[in-house]
Amino acid sequence: MVRRVRTAVSRRLGVDARALAAFRAALAALVLADIFLRARFLTAFYTDAGVLPRSLLYEQYGALSRLSLHALSGAAWVQGLLFGLAVVTALSMLVGYRTTLATLLSGVLLTSLHYRNPLVLNSGDTLLRMLFLWGVFLPLGRRWSVDALHASTTEASGGSGVDRTARNRVVSVATAGVLLQVVVVYATNAVLKLRGDRWLSGDATRHVLELDMFTVRLGDVLAQYPTLLTAFDRLWLGMLVGSVLLVALTGWVRAAFAGLFAAVHLGMLASMQLGLFPLVSVAALVPFLPAAVWDELPGWRAIPGLRDRPVSRSVSALASGLPDVGLPDSATIRAAARWKRRVLPPLLAVLLVGVLAWNAATVGIVAVPDAAPVDDSPDPRWGMFAPTPAATDYWVVAPGTLDSGDSVDAFRGGEVTWTEPPDVARSYPSARWRKYVSNLRSAQDDSVAGGFADYLCTRHESEDPMVSVSVFVVEQPVRGENTASTERVELAATNCSSP
């Protein structure tokens, strides 16, 4: 009976080593894409010349923001160096060279970048940090990596005479953590959605696609088919409620269920301006793919066009070109390794319980202790479009007066117009700009929006400098009786010549 229970737990909370390798590559690729996308707005978001100079960052977010490496300097060249370092560590992680160290450094740099400007973060960023947290404690470099090639034949193959399935299966508190983390996201979102009438009535997705600030590409087409969207509402809500099946199921059934979640996220990517969030969600599902899936994948030799290419020689050359640097073999190192094996599992178990309890507290399932540093339950982390989708579209208008007396939209450029843009989503330079504006609307302190106005003062050519800037959000209801009406909400106004 004990053996059967262990086998059942292993099949559900274990992860195939090849899935971990693919998971590693997916995380590294996401970091590289994220760095590229953020670099376009490096000055705006991460320097003292941008929307959130360090003085304002410290004022709004306190001591925690001072832990950010990116907050050590407000100069663009320093941020560029840190971005470059993040690229190097991500590439090391991608090929699996010194994988644990590369994962740790990538996670630290990612977290540091997030703390430098929390105003541009979304739930996908939170999930990506959590995936890195668990990834540090997973053997991400066991397969398909330079580290595996550096290992001895016995270590790389798992030893002769060992069952292939057992050789590839990794079971630990960390594998349970990375799997349950994903289920927690879906389950929490399900609880929140069930508290709103829109998701229960089946018209929530239609209402989401009515928000032009999100809808792009395929979303404009799908919005014309309300019956189809109602069916999707039912399907998605049912999947979220049944998300625990991601760990309860095994084999090809689990793979199919995880694939269904991935397909929905890819549909979101094609329909809405959500940045990398859908791709982060897809990467989080990779560890759920069981051994049966990886066993069926053809080797590179079976792929037309690659059969005759010297792939193995290129990989071997890469491995031989990178030094196999490891810790020296000493009694102290061996003793530290033994303590790590003893202490780390219970610490990770405590972390896992804490993650589960915190998320349960966000939806009121678990009461927050009286001694906790918050008065009420913390805000839910995973409330994407829940419990009810927003009912208001909004876009930015920033009238600026130039020294010549002319007026210009300091945010979008061109003449100032208050009418709805032809494409609200594309009126924002990126999904992070839309998230930033969303946080400005809800900010309690006017100085946050003031930082935006101060930044806009510096964007115009110096030959005709900006004299003053006002920042407005034009709000338009997408449901109700007054969908044609708009309201101008002033967020900030500044005199650009003032010190």
Contacts of residue 455, defined as CB under 8 A and 6 or more positions apart, other chains included, come to: 44, 49, 50, 51
Between CA 351 and CA 434 the distance in angstroms is 33
What pLDDT is recorded for position 325? Answer: 66
Q: Is the pLDDT of residue 160 over 80?
A: no
pLDDT of residue 71: 94
| 30, 268 contact by CB (below 8 A) | no
Residues 105-116 pLDDT 10s: 999 999 999 999
N residues, the chain: 499
In sequence order, which residues have a C-beta less than 8 Å from that of residue 416 and are 6 or more positions away? 397, 399, 407, 408, 409
On the question of pLDDT at 385 being above 90, the answer is no
Predicted pLDDT at 130: 94
Asked whether the predicted pLDDT for residue 159 surpasses 60, the reply is no
User: Residue 19: pLDDT above 80?
Assistant: yes
Spatial distance between the Cα atoms of 309 and 148, rounded to a whole number of angstroms: 21
Q: How confident is the model at residue 10 (pLDDT cuts 50, 70, 90)?
A: confident
pLDDT above 50 (res 129): yes
Q: Average pLDDT in the 42-60 region? A: 94
Work out the mean pLDDT of the chain and round it to a whole number.
85
When pLDDT is averaged across residues 53-60 and rounded to a whole number, the result is: 93
Pairing type for strands 407-409 and 466-477 reads unpaired
pLDDT reading at 162 higher than 50 = no
Q: pLDDT: is 163 or 343 the higher one?
A: 343
- Res 297: pLDDT: 79
- Residue 326, CB-side half-sphere exposure with 13 Å CA sphere: 8
Considering only residues 482 and 400, tell me which one the structure prediction assigns the higher pLDDT: 400
Give the range with max mean pLDDT: 204-213, 365-374, 458-467: 204-213
Residue-wise pLDDT tens digits, 20-34: 999 999 999 999 999
Q: Which residue has the higher pLDDT, 335 or 288?
A: 288
Q: What is the pLDDT of residues 244-271, one digit of tens each?
A: 999 999 999 999 999 999 999 999 999 9
Output Rg (C-alpha) for the chain, integer angstroms: 25
**pTM of structure:** 0.90
Asked if residues 280 and 127 have their Cβ atoms less than 8 Å apart, the reply is: yes
CA distance 368 to 264: 34
